[in-house]
Amino acid sequence: MTQTAISQSENSVDIGLLARDAGIALILQAIGDALAYMLQFALIWWMGSTEYGVYNYALSWSYLLAIFAGLGLPHAVLRLVSEYKVQQNWGMLRGIIRGSWLLVFLSGCVVSLLGSVIVLIINRYYESDYTTPLLIGLWMVLLQALTQLQLETFRALEDITLAFAPSRILSPALILLGGFLLFTKNHSLSSVPVILLSTLILLGVVLLQLWLLRRKLNQTVEAATPTYAYREWLKVALPLLLQSAFIVILFRTDILMIGSLVGAEAAGVYSAASNTAVWVAFFLQIINIVAAPAFATLHARGDHQGLQAVVSTTALWVLWPSLLIALLLMVFAEPILAMFGSEFVTADWVLKTLVIGEVINVLFGPVSFLLGMTGHQNKSAIVFGCSALINVILNPIAIIHFGILGSAMTTVLSMLIWKIWLSILAMKYVGVNPWALYGLFNSGEKENQQKPAS
């Protein structure tokens, strides 16, 4: 077995090895994000803003429903597998991996079937251009839920490469290639064949992940009879399900409401700005990928000093490059959006507003993962629920008065609310300050304390 940042025999986390894992995650995430951005850019050019808006609208619904199909088990697996490794409880470890897969598979089938029935019933009374894309997208729900579960399982087993390469690199690369071939053949591209292509590729990714996961377990986890504790697992998972659902509502409400109230073209324009602003949080995503298992492990060992050190150190790693990206996006907002087409330039203030929101996200650090990995998922679920409700109430009002810019403003406001609220909870119940600026000033104080008196 390769050496990992989280030692099984020592009550510490090796910051150097954590940095190495972060470097690997950085490369994978950079390639994946670049491919995703290229895919978005290419699809807009091939499909046009209206058809792309339909495609994005259908995918937004499938992403949202996949959260419910997952039953909160992806994040529960990430936390519990880390705890079982500390306890060396191999039976429970094997049990939760097998049991969670079966639960998500059954749940995904039910959600896809019910969703399809509802769409068909609605279509009998109200015909829509979204019907066929939604029906195909609904059968992506099962596949997306399984993909996310298997991704988080690989994260818990501390294999960043196998976690992200299939779904974040292979999948968009194949969709990009397939879309190019379809466009070359037909000289046009609509939403339906692209969603169908995405579904078939995602099926291949799920099967590949499953094969790799079986190999990984046999190579790295001691043989043991699986032990199943479904009630215990669901007790942890269901609050995480609520939290995940509220997070998706927070980050997808804008696109869904713009698509419903303004139209598919406006949703496509807004989506381009939103996906561009997310680049500010690129390095925060890297740290969330790498450090979340360390949060769970250190908390299980009761090492709160080590936990604060990891949170503060990683928050500082994120701060400066994120601010640089934010500055570049603010300065070059118009030319960046112009690459998608002249109609996208109108979203320059949308992009700038969302960039401000992502800066807020970075400044408050990895607080949501910190609470989730330390057993405070119930408290954070309440925070995300209240913030999602605020977002759902204010979004249509803001869209009516200010258009898509109003939706961006509401998204930023709700982000500010939940980030401040979660940070207060982290300091009160975990005893850890997640703010990036706290890590900056605290590191300066430590350096002054270590200097010898002259």
The reply to whether 297 falls in a domain is yes
211 and 168 assigned to the same domain: yes
Tokens for 362, please give them. 């970075």
Residues in the chain: 454
pLDDT score at 61: 83
CB-CB contact of 330 with 408 (8 Å):
no
pLDDT score at 443: 54
pLDDT score at 163: 83
Spell out the alpha helix ranges (H) of 403-434. 404-425
Between 298 and 428, residue with greater pLDDT: 428
The residues, ordered by sequence, that sit 6+ positions from 301 with a Cβ below 8 Å of its Cβ are 11, 86
Q: Where among 191, 212, 228 does a domain terminate?
A: 228
pLDDT score at 136: 86
Give the pLDDT band of residue 7 (cuts 50, 70, 90).
very low
378 and 342 assigned to the same domain: yes
333 and 435 assigned to the same domain: yes
The residues, ordered by sequence, that sit 6+ positions from 428 with a Cβ below 8 Å of its Cβ are none
pLDDT score at 2: 40
Tokens for 194, please give them. 């692209």
Dist CA 247 CA 252 (whole Å): 8
Tokens for 233, please give them. 């697992």
Model pLDDT for residues 345-373, shown as the tens digit of each residue: 888 899 999 999 999 988 888 888 788 77
209 and 352 assigned to the same domain: no
SS3 13: strand
Radius of gyration of the chain (CA): 22
170 and 292 assigned to the same domain: no
Mean predicted lDDT score pLDDT of the chain: 83
pLDDT score at 207: 94
Q: Where among 187, 211, 228 does a domain terminate?
A: 228
Average pLDDT over residues 260-276: 83
CB-CB contact of 189 with 43 (8 Å):
yes
- Three-point CA angle 303, 304, 305, nearest 5°: 95
Q: Compute how many other C-beta atoms are within 10 angstroms of the C-beta atom of residue 308.
A: 19
Q: Where among 228, 256, 276 does a domain terminate?
A: 228
Give the pLDDT band of residue 267 (cuts 50, 70, 90).
confident
pLDDT score at 326: 94
Question: Tokens 């009630």 map to which residue?
Answer: 231
C-alpha atoms less than 13 angstroms from C-alpha of 151 in its C-beta half-sphere:
19
Model pLDDT for residues 14-25, shown as the tens digit of each residue: 566 666 666 777
Does residue 246 register a pLDDT over 80? yes
Average pLDDT over residues 281-310: 78
pLDDT score at 17: 64
The reply to whether 415 falls in a domain is yes
pLDDT score at 222: 81
190 and 153 assigned to the same domain: yes
Q: Tell me the backbone φ, ψ of residue 206, rounded to 5 degrees.
A: -60, -45
Does residue 448 register a pLDDT over 60? no
CB under 8 A, 24+ apart: contacts of 372-376: 372/75, 372/79, 372/240, 372/243, 372/292, 373/78, 373/79, 373/82, 373/292, 373/293, 373/295, 373/296, 373/299, 374/295, 374/296, 374/299, 374/307, 374/430, 375/79, 375/299, 376/425, 376/426, 376/429, 376/430
54 and 93 assigned to the same domain: yes
The residues, ordered by sequence, that sit 6+ positions from 363 with a Cβ below 8 Å of its Cβ are 319, 419, 435, 436, 437
- DSSP 8-state symbol, 453: P
The reply to whether 315 falls in a domain is yes
- Three-point CA angle 281, 213, 58, nearest 5°: 50
Residue 137 is part of which domain span? 17-228
200 and 250 assigned to the same domain: no
Does residue 164 register a pLDDT over 50? yes
Model pLDDT for residues 35-52, shown as the tens digit of each residue: 888 888 888 888 877 778
240 and 224 assigned to the same domain: no
190 and 252 assigned to the same domain: no
Q: How many helices (H) and strands (E) does the chain have?
A: 18, 0
Does residue 4 register a pLDDT over 50? no
- Three-point CA angle 412, 415, 416, nearest 5°: 90
Tokens for 398, please give them. 């803001």
Counted domains in the chain: 2
The reply to whether 2 falls in a domain is no
Pick from 14-23, 291-300, 387-396 the range whose average pLDDT is largest: 387-396
342 and 245 assigned to the same domain: yes
pLDDT score at 453: 41
pLDDT score at 393: 92
CB-CB contact of 241 with 67 (8 Å):
yes
The reply to whether 188 falls in a domain is yes
Between 163 and 130, residue with greater pLDDT: 163
151 and 268 assigned to the same domain: no
